Structures are given as C-alpha cells and as structure tokens.
A and B are shown apart, each in its own frame.
Chain A
Amino acid sequence: MIALVAGSYGLKALGTSNLGGRVERRLGAAVALLPAALFAALIVIMTFEDAGTLTLDARAAGVAAGGVAVWRKAPLVLVVAVAMAVTAGVRALT
C-alpha cells in the first residue's frame, strides 16, 4: 500500500517537475499505449483465469454483455449492472 501511494504520487510529481517535458518526449508514445495493453490484459485475466488455469464460465457471458453495453455507449453504471445481472443469471441457471 505504501509503495502504491508513494509510486502513484511520485509519477504525478515527476510530470509536474522540470523533468516532465523530457520524459514525455522520450517515452510519451510508449506510456500512452500502456493503458490499452494493461486494460486488455486485465480484462482477459479477470474473465478467463481461475486458480491458475483458463476456464470459460458465467463471467465470460457477463463481460460480453457488458462489452455490448459499452459499444452501445451505455453509462458505466448500466455497463456494470448488465455484466453483473448476466453473470448472476447464467450462474444461477448452470
């Protein structure tokens, strides 16, 4: 927790310091692509990983439904509600 707090603040402070501009020129393009890579990796892990192996369960259906909601430009609350409802529904039926 301390590492997380210190690290996240340190990165913000680094940007506002005089070094900020130099960091941006050197690594800006790579850092800007990090969220796309990390979010995608986190999504597949959280959807298909279970105790160290890959599985296909109710989560996949829920996340797919949530994905459709995102695609239809639904607000976040609705995205989460759809994903949860479909997952809980599929889980209750299987």
Chain B
Amino acid sequence: MKGRFGEDSRLAGWIRRLRSARGSRPYLRDCVIVSLAVAPTGVTFGVVADAAGFDLARIVVMSALVFTGASQFAAVGVINDGGSGGAAVGSALLLAARNALYGPVMRRALPASVPARLGAAHFVIDETTAISTAQTSRRHAAGAFWFSGIILWLVWNLCSVAGALLGAVLGTPETWGLDAAFPAILVALLAPHVRTAAGRTAALAAAAVALGVVPVTGAGVPVLVSVAAVAPALWVRSHRRESPPETDESRSRTSEPPAASGPEGAEPGATP
C-alpha cells in the first residue's frame, strides 16, 4: 500500500514537472508535432530505399549520418532510376546545400566552442531550424535546437529501419505502385518552394530542361543539368523586386530564405 502510494506521488511529481516544463520549454509541443509528421516520412524512406535495392546496413548508415531527408530521397531515387552513383551524390548534395544557409540564422542557438559547434552542425536541418528560429529567447532557441535535433534524429532512424523491414515484407514494389511513391513525395516537398514567382520559374524551367535532356543522357544527369533553371529564376526574382510591391511580391519577400524556408519545412510532409 505504502509502495503504491509512493509510486503515485512519484507520478504526481512527474506530471507536475511536465506541466512546469511547458512553461520553461515552450518548444516541446512543436517538437512532438514535427516528430509525428516526420515519422511516416521516415517509414516511407525505408520502404522506397529497400525497393531501390539498398540493404538494411546502407539504409541505417544513410539515415544516421546523412540525416537530410530530401537529399536521401533524391539519392535513392536516382539510383532506383538506374542513374550512376556520382549523379545520385551530386543531386543529393545540391539539395543539401540549403543546410549551409541555415547555419548563419542558427548562430544564436549553436554553441560557441568550435568542437561543440561541429557536433551541433549535424542537426542543422529544415525542422530544427524552423523550431529553433521560432523561439523568442536565445536560451529557448538553443534548447529547442538540441531537443528537436535529437528527437528527430531518433524518430527518423527508427522509422527508416521500420520502413526497410516493412519494405522487405511487401515484395515486388511495382505491384504496389511504389515507383509512384517517389515522385509523389517530391511533389509534396516541392509545394512550399513554388509559392514565389521565382520558385515557380525554377521548377518549370527545370522540368522542361530535364525532359529535354533525358533522351540524350538517360537517368541521373538531367537532374544535374536542370540546375541551370536557377538562372532564369534569379532573373525573375530580381526583376520582380523592382516592380511595385504586390501581394505575391511581399509574400516572396517574407518567405525569403533561410529565415522562412525553415518554417515552411516544418509543415506536415516535410522531411529532415
């Protein structure tokens, strides 16, 4: 009886601590929501990577050490389409380049010492940037960064392994339409990027370039060539800026990277 009472009071203590934590850690709710959005994406990654012929060990290494969902999907997708390893790495790294833009905005949340900062760098991704930059104080920004980074890393890895095991059970990917899952996920990832005129220009031009180049080069290379589409998009961006502000323009200005491409990344359907 006494033991039970003790347990109860311990439980009450936990609840009290959790309640007060909501005040001292206002980002906990955001972390949970984003984790819930990332979990199915992780499972999907495991399933499609398995379908593309990646073994469990490579899926584990990739999720643990690359830890950038969009790049992982791109790399696996290019390999699945019969592209070369170089083309896969090339497209993945071009996508990962945006993580370099998050560093400067994340400055206040990152540790000052160089070794600690190098460790923290691994967790600088869409979601952690979104949650951390949404905090009002420096202390919360740092707490939110570490908490979301570690939680998301755990969720992402556990779910990719679960997906890989699930994929092995599913068998022939074509019967289930799994080959359409790849591009469908990318449509969801593309959505927040085409809200601006420049983003739409980049997307349309890149699609046209890729379709034009495919018959000549085969899979993999067209994706790299499509980077040229950024040039007309940059022109649209600078051109638009000179015109008088309109709704679309003010929107593109506020959603300028990296401050807001972070929050966009936190929408359901985003990946680390």
Q: Do A and B belong to a common assembly?
A: yes
**A31 partner, pick from B44, B101, B174, beta carbons under 8 A:** B101
Distance of A86 Cα from B89 Cα, bound (Å): 30
- Which of B22-30, B135-143, B175-183 forms contacts with chain A? B175-183
| A93 close to B (CB within 8 Å) | no
- Residues 83-98 of B contacting A (Cβ, < 8 Å): 88-89, 91-98
Prevailing SS type, chain B contact patch: helix
Closest B residue to A8 using CB positions: B96
Provide the A25-66 mask, 1 if CB < 8 A to any CB of B, else 0: 000111111111111111111111101111000110011001
Q: Once the chains bind, are A8 and B258 in contact (CB under 8 Å)?
A: no
6 cross-chain pairs, A with B, having the tightest CB-CB distances, nearest first: A15-B103, A87-B177, A66-B184, A62-B180, A83-B184, A41-B226
Residues of B within 8 A of A88 (CB): 175-177
Provide the A67-92 mask, 1 if CB < 8 A to any CB of B, else 0: 10110000111011011111111010
Residues of B within 8 A of A32 (CB): 98, 101, 256-258, 261
Closest B residue to A83 using CB positions: B184
Distance in Å from the Cβ of B208 to the closest Cβ of chain A?
9
Q: Once the chains bind, are B188 and A84 in contact (CB under 8 Å)?
A: no
A residues neighboring B (CB under 8 Å): 1, 3-5, 7-9, 11-17, 20-21, 23-24, 28-49, 51-54, 58-59, 62-63, 66-67, 69-70, 75-77, 79-80, 82-89, 91
Q: Once the chains bind, are A31 and B100 in contact (CB under 8 Å)?
A: yes
Q: Once the chains bind, are B177 and A85 in contact (CB under 8 Å)?
A: yes
| B205 close to A (CB within 8 Å) | yes
Q: Once the chains bind, are A79 and B174 in contact (CB under 8 Å)?
A: no
24 contacts between A and B (CB under 8 A): A8-B92, A11-B93, A12-B96, A12-B99, A14-B100, A15-B104, A15-B121, A16-B121, A17-B117, A24-B104, A34-B95, A35-B95, A36-B198, A39-B193, A42-B186, A44-B207, A51-B82, A75-B40, A77-B40, A80-B181, A80-B185, A83-B184, A84-B181, A87-B180
Of B68, B70, B269, most A-chain CB atoms within 10 Å: B269
**B104 partner, pick from A4, A21, A46, A82, beta carbons under 8 A:** A21
Distance in Å from the Cβ of A21 to the closest Cβ of chain B?
5
Q: Once the chains bind, are A46 and B230 in contact (CB under 8 Å)?
A: no
Residues of B within 8 A of A83 (CB): 177, 180-181, 183-184
- Which of B3-11, B13-21, B211-219 forms contacts with chain A? B211-219
Provide the B123-134 mask, 1 if CB < 8 A to any CB of A, else 0: 011000000000
Q: Once the chains bind, are A12 and B209 in contact (CB under 8 Å)?
A: no
Residues of B within 8 A of A69 (CB): 184
Of B62, B93, B187, B210, most A-chain CB atoms within 10 Å: B187
Closest A residue to B221 using CB positions: A45
Distance of A5 Cα from B67 Cα, bound (Å): 9
Residues of B within 8 A of A13 (CB): 118, 121
Q: A24-B101, A28-B257 are in contact. Are A76 and B268 (CB under 8 A)?
A: yes
Provide the B52-89 mask, 1 if CB < 8 A to any CB of A, else 0: 00000010011001111011001101101110000011
